[in-house]
Amino acid sequence: MKNTIRKHNFWGATTLFIFCIGISFCQAQPLSVDVSADKTTLAVNQQLMLTVDLSGEGAQSVQPPQLPDMEEFLSFLGSGGSSQNIQVINGRMSITRSFSYYYLAKKEGQFTIPSLEVLYKGNSYRSKPIQITVAGQAQQPAQSPSQPSPTDQEAASDEELYVRAIVDKRTIYQNEPVVVTFRIYTQVAVASYSITKAPDTAGFWAEEFEMQGQPQTREEVINGRKYIVADLKRTALFPASSGSKEIGPMTLTCDVRQRRSRRSRDIFDSFFDDPFFNPTVKKTISSLPVKLNVLPLPAENRPPSFSGAVGDYNLSASLDKSSVTTNEAITLRIKISGTGNINLLPNPNVAIPPDFEQYEPKVTQSIARSGATISGEKTFEYVLVPRFPGQQRIKPATFSFFNPRKKTYETLSSPQFEVNVAKGREDKIVVGAGLSKEEVRLVGQDIRFIKLSSTDLRQKGKEFYNSYLFAILLALPLLAVAVAFGSVKRQEQLAGNKAYARSRRANRLAQKQLSKARALQNEKTQKEFYAEISGALLGFAANKLDLEAAGIISDELERLLRKRNLDNDLIENYIELIRTCDYQRFAPATTGREEMSLFYQKANQAIIQLEKAL
Amino acid sequence: MVLLIGTLLSLAVAPRAEVDQAVVLFHKGVEAYQQTEYQNAVSDFESALSLGYESAELYYNLGNAYFKVNDIGKCILNYERAKKLSPGDKDISYNLQLAQLYVVDKIVVPPQHFIGRAIEVMAHTLSKNQLALILVFFHIIWVSALILRMLIRRAGVKRYAKGIFATFLVLFLFTSVIFAYRLRDDLRNRQGIILAEKIEVQSSPAGDATEVFALHQGAKVNLHGQSGDYYQISLPDGKVGWLLRSSLEII
């Protein structure tokens, strides 16, 4: 830009000089405004020069016209100054003032540069609009140099001046740096340059290398042509993710000293042909985008402590004190140094025991940007305050990274530190520092006093709830309920069911009568004996079957017994005994004692059998 | 009835001479404590315990003595044991609460559902012995009422007995549920107090296992199982781990 300013001053002086000569020749001539473009078809990122020519009598006095806003399509690069042409033909002088402006085509499409309006003495003078067509991407200089433009405004061909992006490798791992160098090749004199568009490095972490002062130039021969070569910019790029990545083009605008064509050989031109006065022309050049293949970090053998660091590092750790009292701070310093993305280096895995109060680590880093790669060191300072006494152990801090050179993961670890924490002088209230106010107030109080007597000292484990006594006390009432229930039921049955009661009493009554009969076992009381036996047999059956004993006869009894589905022999035997009794009672045949005893046995047996059967 | 049970209980108590010795040691300890000789008090109470006798007061006094000699772990252990024997004692609860303020680990107990909390409170405000006594008391009453109802035929008495029977049967069943809950709770949820100054709780019962978290003296943990020299423990807030058996004592 400095150049441009100087140019303006120069043209200003020239204008003044010419003005002094030509002031007296002023003749009325209509003002004409003419706008011309150096080309009407161009590509994106190519430069366009607009020239505004003012001629006529008003040309000298009007203000340079304001150019319309065309930011949508063209970005204004700068004005190229002005020139003045005075022609004297047949004593008539004509003055032409020219203003040039440089633009860069921004996007594709067709558009019109609107007509320019200049006001002079109340009249407005207009230029013709110009149709401009912007085609696609500009062809890249290194790839296919286009034919040098025939117009003398072309500062240098694409072959004569270009910039390239040079990478040190094209296949890299994620987070592994790639160094990209932007190098300018020129066969023309470049007065100055400015980077108009920095390379698009989205998806990369960029770390710029320091360049000392002016770019160092050297000569290089490429394809038989000698070039001046200079490195303009060097950047280490760390791809943040894997996949196919692209480093965007960098665009430069160069001021190129113009070699003037000798079309009009007049006195002024030869005067201005001096290199010092050579005007510069802007030329925009872009580097080609560079494709990179970014490999993901291998999944196998990835240590659990790995958190993304790639490079080559060393780890050192130190602890300033190994013997402290509680609440005295100690500092754990972990330094990681090496090559890689120091800025984004993750914290090492430090396992601080929970008994330490721990603060966020203080991180300091220094990065060297002048060597072949980005290197540096990062220091993590952990301030630890032990809260509780005891032998505390700080487990080794670990740091894992991927070494792209060896293509392996590496894990560094610090030594283990032992800290001997002695009890500080603080009393208990400080220990409870984490308590709420209310709790602290409580701590100030004392515990309640001891109990002065103990009434129930008893053997351990001998508890009432698991003693036999407890079980008995639970079981006994249940037993009592069972007994009470049983007796109540029995009473109810005895009271309420006559038949049942008779049946229960039958055996007892029969036995009573039988024992009476036994006492009558002799010839004299033969009748009474049989009567008693008969009574026992009939009474027993009647009681069992709940019949009226008085009116019962053996036939009816037999019928009732048969209804009960009893054993036939048993019934016949029983009835036979009753009939024998009747026979002996009413038509007695003398029977002996033995016979009576045998009969008694038979009757007794029959009653027992019937009792069982019923 | 309760009086009767009380006398029966005292019959279960062991030979007189040993009890006397334990009582002597208890009073010796109380005296030492009163003269601020806390270390002596600790040893007196401990030897009373070592004779095989215990009581809520003995544990409580021992806890107090340990508090005074700054052994928070054993202090809390003995308060907890005292509380187990006499859950309703206000002094024990107060001192235990106070001692727990000195425990380094602050474990946040997640809030319980209110029904669960009510059962918890009912099951733990009385000791198991007290619960058992109440249970027997209700049992005998409802049984007596039932028998009366069965045996006596006078309608007035019968109706009266029926009311008592129903009321005490319900009370008995309710107490049984609480007692059963408490027995199950005590069987399942054994708890321990950390006695070591600091112990690392590990993820598995092995020497080189990773440390999950650390606990300090006086912390109360739930015990679940054991493997070798390790107990599996959990905290009320859900943390689980293994620690050396020697570092804690069961309440």
Under a CB-based contact definition with an 8 Å cutoff, are residues A303 and A400 in contact? Answer: yes
- Cβ contacts of B99 on chain A, cutoff 8 Å: 447
Six-digit token string for A563? 């209804």
- B247 DSSP 8-state letter: G
Say if B22 is an interface residue toward chain A (CB within 8 Å): yes
From the options 1.20.120, 1.10.1130, 1.20.1070, 1.10.3470, give the CATH code of A498-613. Answer: 1.20.120
Under a CB-based contact definition with an 8 Å cutoff, are residues A574 and A537 in contact? Answer: yes
Beta bridge partners of A128: none
Average pLDDT over residues B183-212: 83
pTM above 0.90, yes or no: no
CA distances from B23 to B18, B19, B36, B74, B89 (A): 9, 6, 20, 22, 21
Q: What are phi and psi of A115, to 5 degrees?
A: -70, 150
B129 closest CB neighbour out of A448, A449, A464: A464
Under a CB-based contact definition with an 8 Å cutoff, are residues B213 and B207 in contact? Answer: no
| Residue A402 reports pLDDT greater than 80 | yes
Q: Determine the straight-line distance between the first and last CA of chain B, rounded to whole angstroms.
A: 32
Q: Do A470 and B136 touch (CB under 8 A)?
A: yes
Q: Are B162 and B125 members of one domain?
A: yes
CATH number, domain of B224, equals: 2.30.30.40
Position A503, amino acid: S
CA distances from B123 to A125, A224, B138 (A): 106, 102, 17
From the options 3.10.20.90, 3.50.50.60, 2.60.40.740, 3.40.630.10, give the CATH code of A300-422. Answer: 2.60.40.740
| Residue B130 belongs to a domain | yes
Position B215, amino acid: L
| Residue B215 belongs to a domain | yes
A464 closest CB neighbour out of B9, B26, B104: B9
A407: distance to nearest CA of chain B, Å? 30
Domain of residue B54, residue span: 14-100
Under a CB-based contact definition with an 8 Å cutoff, are residues A196 and A251 in contact? Answer: yes
CATH of domain A161-292: 2.60.40
Mean pLDDT of chain B: 84
B positions 131-160 inside 8 Å of A (CB): 131-133, 135-136, 139-140, 143-144, 146-147, 150-151
B61 confidence band (pLDDT: 50, 70, 90): very high
Dihedral, A473, A478, A484, A489 alpha carbons, nearest 10: -170
A488 closest CB neighbour out of B48, B129, B150: B150
Q: Are B161 and B205 members of one domain?
A: no
Q: Do A463 and B129 touch (CB under 8 A)?
A: yes
Under a CB-based contact definition with an 8 Å cutoff, are residues B82 and B89 in contact? Answer: yes
Domains of chain A by residue range: 2-137, 161-292, 300-422, 498-613
Rounded distance between C-alpha atoms, residue A266 and residue A264, angstroms: 6
Please report the DSSP string for A54-80 in residue order: EESGGGGTSPPPPPPP-TTTEEEEEEE
Say if B212 is an interface residue toward chain A (CB within 8 Å): no
- Cβ contacts of B139 on chain A, cutoff 8 Å: 473-474, 477
The tens digit of pLDDT for each residue in A479-502 reads 998 998 888 888 777 766 677 777
Position A141, amino acid: P
| Residue B2 belongs to a domain | no
Rounded distance between C-alpha atoms, residue A195 and residue A199, angstroms: 9
Say if B209 is an interface residue toward chain A (CB within 8 Å): no
B76, B100, B124: which is the final residue of a domain? B100
| Residue B194 reports pLDDT greater than 60 | yes
| Residue B1 belongs to a domain | no
- Cβ contacts of A463 on chain B, cutoff 8 Å: 128-129
Which fold would CATH assign to domain A2-137?
Answer: Immunoglobulin-like (2.60.40)
The reply to whether A300-422 shares the fold of A2-137 is yes
Please report the DSSP string for A206-232 in residue order: EEEPP--SSPPEEEEEETTEEEEEEEE
| Residue B9 belongs to a domain | no
Say if B181 is an interface residue toward chain A (CB within 8 Å): no
Q: Does residue A42 sit in helix, strand or coil?
A: strand
B72, B100, B128: which is the final residue of a domain? B100
The tens digit of pLDDT for each residue in B21-50 reads 888 889 999 999 998 888 999 999 999 888
| Residue B168 belongs to a domain | yes
CA distances from A14 to A18, A465, B43 (A): 6, 122, 115
Rounded distance between C-alpha atoms, residue A37 and residue A281, angstroms: 15
Under a CB-based contact definition with an 8 Å cutoff, are residues A207 and A367 in contact? Answer: yes
Rounded distance between C-alpha atoms, residue A103 and residue A90, angstroms: 39
Helices assigned H by DSSP within B152-212: 155-188
Residues 6+ apart with CB under 8 A from A100: A49, A50, A51, A52, A79, A80, A81, A82, A83
Say if B54 is an interface residue toward chain A (CB within 8 Å): yes
- A341 DSSP 8-state letter: -
The tens digit of pLDDT for each residue in A243-289 reads 888 888 888 888 887 665 544 445 554 454 455 556 777 888 888 88
- A277 DSSP 8-state letter: G
CATH number, domain of B42, equals: 1.25.40.10
B149, B172, B188: which is the final residue of a domain? B188
Beta bridge partners of A471: none
Q: Are B80 and B91 members of one domain?
A: yes
Rounded distance between C-alpha atoms, residue A173 and residue A242, angstroms: 7
The alpha carbon dihedral of A548, A549, A553, A559 has a sign of: positive
A139 confidence band (pLDDT: 50, 70, 90): very low
To 5 degrees, how large is the angle CA B145–CA B149–CA B154?
130
Name which of A247, A246, A212 is nearest A230 in CA terms. A212
Q: Are B183 and B198 members of one domain?
A: no
The number of folded domains in chain B is 3
B91: distance to nearest CA of chain A, Å? 6
Under a CB-based contact definition with an 8 Å cutoff, are residues A185 and A162 in contact? Answer: yes
Q: Are B161 and B197 members of one domain?
A: no
Mutation target among B90, B139, B153 for the A interface, most CBs of A within 10 A: B139
Query: Does the ipTM surpass 0.90?
Result: no
| Residue B41 belongs to a domain | yes
Query: A70-74, A155-159, A303-307, B132-136: which range is least confident on average?
Result: A155-159
A597 confidence band (pLDDT: 50, 70, 90): confident
